[in-house]
Structure formats: C-alpha cells, structure tokens
Amino acid sequence: MNIAVVGLGFVGLSMSSVLASKNYNVVGIDIDNQKCSDIRNGILPLFEPGLENTLRVGLKKKLTISNNFSLIKNCDMIFVTVGTPQKSNGAIELSMIKEAITSIGRIIAKSKNNPIILIKSTVTPGTMQNIILPILEKRSGKKAGRDFGLISNPEFLQESSAIKNTKFPHVIVLGGYQTRFMKKTKNFFSKLHPNIPIIITNHQTAEMVKYANNSFLATKISFINQLSNICQNIPGVNIDDIAKTIGLDPRIGDAFLNAGPGYGGSCLPKDMKALINFADKVGINPILLNAVEKTNQRQIKSIISLMEKSLGTLALKRLAVLGTAFKPNTDDVRDSIAIELIKKLLKKKARITIYDPKAMRNTMKVFGKKIIYAKSITDALNNSQCVIMMTHWKQFEVLNNNSIKHMKRKFIIDCRRILSKKELNAEYYAIGIGKKE
Ligand code: UGA
C-alpha cells in the first residue's frame, strides 16, 4: 500500500510518521521546501510529544518527505491534511486546499492507477460536493467514484496527544458514496485500527460531524467557565469539586470541564466562528453558539478586571505571565488566550514578562521586543506586582513561597487553579474559586 499525505502540519506529520512506523510506504508532501528538508533531517517544525521518535522510526523505514507532488502518482491513498484558516468574517479560507487538490488533480490525470483521495482538512458542509469534487474532476479529466475515490475523513486528534490519538483514534468517520473505494477504505481502517467504530455516512454529514464535535467541546468549556464565574462570587465554593462530581454522571462525562481563561488554539475558536457563519448562511440564528463564543471572550475581561480591582491602573505595572502556549505540552501559541491577554495588557501600557517551558520562540515571533522573556519561573516573578498563571504546565506546580519571595507585590491570579491546594503567603485569586483568604 503506497500512501501520500499532503500538508505536513500536526495532523499530516503525525499521520505520515505513524503510518511509516507501521511499515506503510508513505510520501509526506509539503510545499515548504525548507520545512521538508528540516523534517528529513529529523528537525521538527513544532513541538509534539512523541513525534520526534515516531518520525525517526518512520524515516528509517519507508517515509519519504518532499515538496515534489509528482511523487503521489503511484499512491493508492492520498490524504489531504492542509490547513483551512479563518477569514476575517469567520468563514474558512480554502486557498490552500484548492491549491493542494489542483496539484493532485494534475498528477492523477497522468497516472494509471485509481487512487482514493481522503480529505482530512476541516471544511464546512457542501465543500466536498461543490468545490473539491469539481476541481478534482476538472483538473484530472477523470470521474470521482469511477476513476478515483473521494472520501471525507475528518480528524479528531488533539495537539499534545497527536501521536497517541493517531495510533488510537476513538472513531473513524468516512463520508462519501458506497463505491468500491469506500469498501477498500473501510478495510484499510479496520486493519489499521481494529475494534474502533467506523461511521460511514455521506460527505455533508462527515463534514458537519467535525463542527458538531468541536462546538460541543467549546460549549462544555464555556458552560463550566460561566459556572466558575458564578462560583467565584460564592465564598468557599470550589469549581473543581463541582466539575468532578457532575463529571461522574455518565450522561455528562468528566472531560472538558476544566474551568479556565477560555478556549484557544488553532481549532476551537476558528471552528466556532466558521459554524456560526455557516449557520447564518443557512438561515439559522445560532443563539447558543453565539453565547458560547461570547462567554469565551468574556473570560479575559474578567481576568483583567480582577487585576485592576487590586492593582488599580495597570499602566507601568510589571506583570508576569506564566504560560503562553494555548495548552500544556505544546509550543503552539496560535489563538492562545494568553497571547490575547498580553495584547490587551500591552494596550493598557503594562510591562509584561513571560515564561513558558516550550513556547518562548513562538511568543517572541508575536511580540518581539515589546515584552521581556524570562529564563525561569522565578526570573519572571522577580519584581513583578502580579503573576497570572495561564497554562497548566506541570513545571508551574513547584511554585511556592520561596519562588514568590522576590515579587514586588505577592499577588497571584491562577487561571487554572494550579496552586489552589497550597498555603501561600500571597493574595491569591483562582478562576472558579475566587479569593482565597
Ligand atoms: C481540538 C479538539 O479537541 C480536537 O478533537 C480536534 O481534532 C482539534 O481541535 C482540531 O479541530 O483539529 P486542540 O485544538 O488540540 O483540539 O485543543 P483542545 O485540547 O481541544 O483544547 C482547546 C482549548 O480548550 C485549549 O485552550 C484548552 O486550554 C481549553 N480547554 C480544554 C479548557 O479550557 N478546559 C478544558 O476542560 C479543556
């Protein structure tokens, strides 16, 4: 089985490495030549636990990385994993996917085999039928369903567990027509992931499933965040005990009930906006989804007002931000709430020092010299008048009275309740708990 993966971001790189490590012949394609050459040398464009090892194994076996699209011509399956970023109106930007499938169409025009093209990129319902399929048929001069297979195959992996999720997905979704290509794809996945449910449906449903999934996760987070804001105003109430308890109800489940500064990252915020935009287009006023988004945006404001309540004006105040990655175990700062917070604090003329175990380089790309980059947690805290803990890195759990002793004012805002069980000689506020006396 020869497999191509087009687009080497989190999904594509994890997928090509895992498949190659399982002895499939894999060609990983990306238009960025520098990125390809780095990957060939084992240098990763991103930090993802377990990826470096898996890539190394894959490269030793049958993984080829290239920017040369013609390498896909002998492939039986072609996975498209390019990004669909956000436009200013919230809709998705399709230029990358159009470019990728145009190149694929041109190559399959000349090839003799009948490949199956699987679209993993997140696209709104109808994109496959109305955009992808016509481009592919036009560029290849061939017919979908007869000469090549076309399947919607949304991806549910999470950054920071990309390898684990690629090896052990919770579900496989295959959208498309009941053709021999669908049968072959189903066989491929049932061999690759025995005992994992495979849902076979049409294109539009498969496309919508992805948005349903991410918007439900976002809804759970905004729900617990709204509840946490209520709890903050009830002395002694602890949001974590509430989340843990309701999570034991099998109808609710305990995942994605960690209150915090709001959801960030390259997926949840973008997919929520795309779904809201899409709902409007099909004539539905998405009241709940809008509320989920608004609740998310309000979280930052409530953190800032907590700060201003204690510090007064933030202008010229030295504030330390611990954690800029959008979640732990990644160096990704795209749409990170911490980045948004820093932007707002800079507007208020605060002086910001940050520390993150992995995301310093990416944060530097956003802020350059506008903020200070500390070498350690204590370095970040020195002389600061407030520390805001934004990302739940394990490393931050060591913070104690000794680490805060050189703060100008011992004032902690803990957005993830990392230190909530510790006795600290400090003014301590936690999202979902409020002020701890
Ligand atoms: C998300 C989905 O979880 C994946 O299933 C999906 O495949 C992916 O988007 C995608 O569309 O590609 P990811 O962006 O890696 O994955 O991040 P999440 O783990 O979902 O976290 C998103 C944000 O929610 C983070 O800022 C995180 O801190 C926040 N979050 C998560 C909370 O504030 N509380 C929680 O309980 C969980």
Q: How many residues does the chain have?
A: 437
- pLDDT at residue 433, rounded to an integer: 82
Distance CA 405, CA 308 (A): 22
List of the chain residues with pLDDT < 50: none
- pLDDT at residue 313, rounded to an integer: 97
Tell whether ligand 1 has an atom less than 6 A from the beta carbon of residue 258. yes
pTM over the 0.85 mark: yes
Q: Which of 122, 227, 256, 267 to mutate to test the pocket of ligand 1 (most atoms within 8 A of CB)?
A: 267
Q: Whose CA is nearest to atom 28 of ligand 1?
A: 327
- pLDDT at residue 435, rounded to an integer: 78
Q: Whose CA is nearest to atom 35 of ligand 1?
A: 256
- pLDDT tens track for 260-311: 999 999 999 999 999 999 999 999 999 999 999 999 999 999 999 999 999 9
Tell whether ligand 1 has an atom less than 6 A from the beta carbon of residue 243. no
Residue 335 Cα to ligand 1 midpoint, Å, equals 11
- pLDDT at residue 437, rounded to an integer: 65
Q: Whose CA is nearest to atom 23 of ligand 1?
A: 263
CA dihedral 167, 172, 176, 177 (to 10 degrees): 100
Kindly report the backbone phi and psi dihedral angles of residue 7, in degrees, each rounded to the nearest multiple of 5, phi listed first.
105, 105
Q: How many angstroms separate the most distant Cα atoms in the chain?
A: 73
Q: Is 267 a catalytic residue?
A: yes
